[in-house]
Amino acid sequence: MIPYGRQSISDEDIDRVVKVLRSDYLTQGQAVPEFERNVCTYVGAKYGVAVNSGTSALHIACRALGLGEGDYLWTSPISFVASANCALYCGASVDFVDIDPNTYNMCTDTLKQKLIKAKRHGCLPKVIVPVHFAGLPCKMEELYKLSQEYGFYIVEDASHALGSYYHDAPIGRCQYSDMTVFSFHPVKPITTAEGGMVVTNSENLREKLQLFRTHGITRDPMLMVSKNDNPWYYEQIDLGYNYRMSDIHAALGISQLTRLDDFIGRRREIAQCYRDRLHELPVTLQLEESGSVSGTHLFVIRVRPNATKKSHAQIFKAMRDHGVGVNLHYIPIHLQPYYQSLGVKYENLEEAEKYYAEAMSLPVFPDLTNENIEEIISVLTNVLITE
């Protein structure tokens, strides 16, 4: 089966990891700060805090903003559950903003209407998490304007979007947000096996992120409650976690980052190939807006309803039966049993549910070959038209 996504590991990647394994420090050594610096240089942000997953990154980003009980976080229903779970970890509530039917990102017009309503009812969100779905940047400038008007923080979930560009600036520069979060899971733009990072331009937020990464412990005398010069002394001043990334993982990330531009180049080449070949099929593709460059983490097609005799599920199964590992990103989060069990009434998410009834991710990853692409297109054509 051709998977929908897969890591690309080179001999250089392996050498870099082995070097750490032979060194003195497997964790809390030099590789993590080096990886943080390199990601910051790449995206143009001031500070990076590496952690053990994208989920942890979202969690400490929310903690750093003081999200807690009585607060609301809004995100897109078409995302991985982690984009919403981070609020629940903090004791806050979650609500969802419907997607734009063309970009599959959170719709800014819908958001605006929802904000107007929330203001009237006195329940404006404290944090909004826009997700750059499939690598396609959200309309950050508009989101930023709304954040100024309605007073919410923005944490970009850029798990799909390291290497994507919005208005000529790499995602992660945080011009229009407080923080940006990346994931380095194997299917993501680069991998550390498991791993994530928060980037920000705020010194204050960085301090908090570092604190929550390591138990809430500090060795900085400026942050301590009491004055104590003893060399062993440290203080726990808040309740944090052990979310540290190891140097073994960071070493893989350092090496992978040098390959990111090649990865993105190949992903975009594959996407172009699909676009050129799929226009005769009854499918709709994600709209890439001008001013944005998608890193093409996913390549999603929507099968036009009633265009074939087969149901969405039948098409999906037939693709897999023919060796093409299609996937569905994502089941709308608000439909998950856990979210349904919370007793919250989620409203006006029709576009997300319509999307869910039609969407399918075709394989896209750097090592996908041209022969693979031909096979995928021919299987899809057969399943949709011939069979």
Site residues for ligand PLP per CB under 6 A: 53-55, 79-80, 82-83, 131, 157, 159-160, 183, 185, 196
| Closest CB to ligand PLP among residues 108, 183 | 183
CA 262 from centroid of its chain's CA atoms: 20
Min dist CB 169 to ligand PLP, Å, is 20
Q: Which residues contact 312 (CB under 8 A, 6 or more apart)?
A: 303, 357, 358, 360
Min dist CB 53 to ligand PLP, Å, is 4
Torsional sign, CA 32, 36, 41, 42 = positive
| Closest CB to ligand PLP among residues 134, 373 | 134
**Residue number closest to ligand PLP, CB atom:** 54
Min dist CB 226 to ligand PLP, Å, is 36
The candidate with the shortest Cα–Cα distance to 194, out of 26, 55, 57, 52, is 52
Min dist CB 216 to ligand PLP, Å, is 21
Min dist CB 81 to ligand PLP, Å, is 8
Min dist CB 130 to ligand PLP, Å, is 10
| Closest CB to ligand PLP among residues 113, 336 | 336
Query: What's the maximum distance between 2 C-alpha atoms anywhere in the chain?
Result: 77
110-145 as b/e: b if 16+ CB within 10 A:
bbbebbeebeeeeebbbbbbbbbbbbbbbbbeebee
Min dist CB 35 to ligand PLP, Å, is 15
Q: What is the bridge-based pairing of β-strands 292-293 and 179-183?
A: unpaired
Q: How far apart are CA 185 and CA 98, in angstroms?
A: 26
Residue 327 is given by DSSP the state B
| Closest CB to ligand PLP among residues 131, 205 | 131
* Beta strand ranges found along 131-282 (DSSP E): 153-157, 165-166, 169-170, 179-183, 196-200, 217-218, 235-236
| Closest CB to ligand PLP among residues 103, 218 | 103
Q: Which residues contact 214 (CB under 8 A, 6 or more apart)?
A: 240, 241, 242, 243, 244
